Structure 1
Amino acid sequence: MTIVQPLARSANLALWDRLQRLPFGSWLFTRALCWKAPYFRTVHPLLRELRPGLCRVSAPNRRGVRNHLGTYHAIASCNMAELAGGMMTDATIPATHRWIPVGMNVEYKAKATTAVTAIARLDPIPEFGDDPTELIVPVDVLDADGKAFVTARITMHVSRKR
């Protein structure tokens, strides 16, 4: 197996870095992301931080994401986890590779009645070779007090681009 080192950053990470120099750059990036993947728009996310090995996304607790109990809906939490995990994966893998989520295990630990933040983190960052691999991405969805009310482990299939 040949080990591939990232020669170039992903297009998304390069765009993120460029837009960070502008006022409202994070907002612009998030709007573009939600244009490309419209389902994420349902939680009204805002990317706060993106770099290899880390993505942090926040969202308000608004009526459209509440369940019948008035708390942040479980599936909205999964949406936040997938957004953070996907963007972190995209920023982490070499530009010569691609990824797709193939599974997600989720634990609902508590109720949240506040705005939320999803944090996907890989430490250490693995090396990617020519052979396809399954990358497990841990994501915590936190309430405003920093308590993880949902944890997810997203399995990403990572392979070389054709």
Structure 2
Amino acid sequence: MTTKPSHTDDARPSAMTATYALRRRLPDNVLGHALFSLGMVARVPYFGTVLPIVEEMRPGYCKVSAPKWFGVYNHIGTFHAIAACNLAEAAMGMLMEASLPPSHRWLPKAMSTQYLAKATTRLTAEATLTEPIDVEAISTGTDVVVSVRILDTHGTEVVHADITTWVTPRAGDDSR
């Protein structure tokens, strides 16, 4: 009898990206989250400006937190709006890495953001898909919108972002 790690999901793609495979190989605990997050920042250095920690990652969902520290302050001492956007993009990116097979790629295309309240605490971004991505139906490319709620430690949604990604099959991939 085998048991699945708690951070997997039956909706996972049959083949995983290298990013998602690495996340699944690491322990689902604070150490595993920190190691994976350091690797993500090494690969995408700009994300490091918010000191992100990927807490959960599975197809259709990703949760990334960021501490409130002086590097993300704005002139009034709250979490800077663009730093919150950076956190939203990190969560979206890891969700897409978990949700697509290696035969497909994604690029961010647009972001619509609403600043709903002052962010005075650490923040947590929760990225979600409203429905699974039907990669078999994507022949030339399609828009996929990822919804990201950014919450403070009181559970108040302080920022909401809808990030449109462009999903296409990788050039030269004959696995379909």
Task: Please report the TM-score for the alignment, with normalisation by the length of structure 1.
Answer: 0.93
Q: Distance in 2 between matches of 1:6 and 1:20?
A: 20
How far apart are residue 126 of structure 1 and its match? 2.6
Quick one: which of 9, 15, 19 aligns to 2:16? 9
Between stretches 22-31 and 68-77, larger displacement belongs to 22-31
* Structure 2 residue 67 is the aligned partner of structure 1 residue 37: no
Partner of 2:149: 140
Quick one: which of 108, 112, 125 aligns to 2:119? 112
**Match for 2:163: what amino acid?**
I
Q: Distance in 1 between matches of 2:159 and 2:16?
A: 30
Partner of 1:52: 59
Q: Distance in 1 between matches of 2:30 and 2:109?
A: 36
Relative to structure 1, the CA distance from residue 131 to residue 19 in structure 2 (aligned partners, 3 Å threshold; closer, same or farther) is same
**Bigger strand share:** 1
Percentage of matched positions with identical amino acids: 44
C-alpha distance after superposition, 1:39-85 (max 9, x if no partner): 00000010000000000000100111011111110000000000001
Residue-pair matches, total: 158
Q: Distance in 2 between matches of 1:159 and 1:123?
A: 19
Q: Distance in 1 between matches of 2:99 and 2:57?
A: 10
SS at match of 2:149: strand
Query: Higher relative CO (CA 8 A, sep ≥ 6), structure 1 or 2?
Result: 1
Q: Structure 2: state its 5+ residue gaps.
A: 1-11, 172-176
Relative to structure 1, the CA distance from residue 138 to residue 21 in structure 2 (aligned partners, 3 Å threshold; closer, same or farther) is closer
Q: Structure 1: state its 5+ residue gaps.
A: none
C-alpha RMSD of the superposition: 1.5
Task: Please report the TM-score for the alignment, with normalisation by the length of structure 2.
Answer: 0.86
* Structure 2 residue 143 is the aligned partner of structure 1 residue 131: no
Q: Distance in 2 between matches of 1:124 and 1:53?
A: 8
How far apart are residue 22 of structure 1 and its match? 7.4
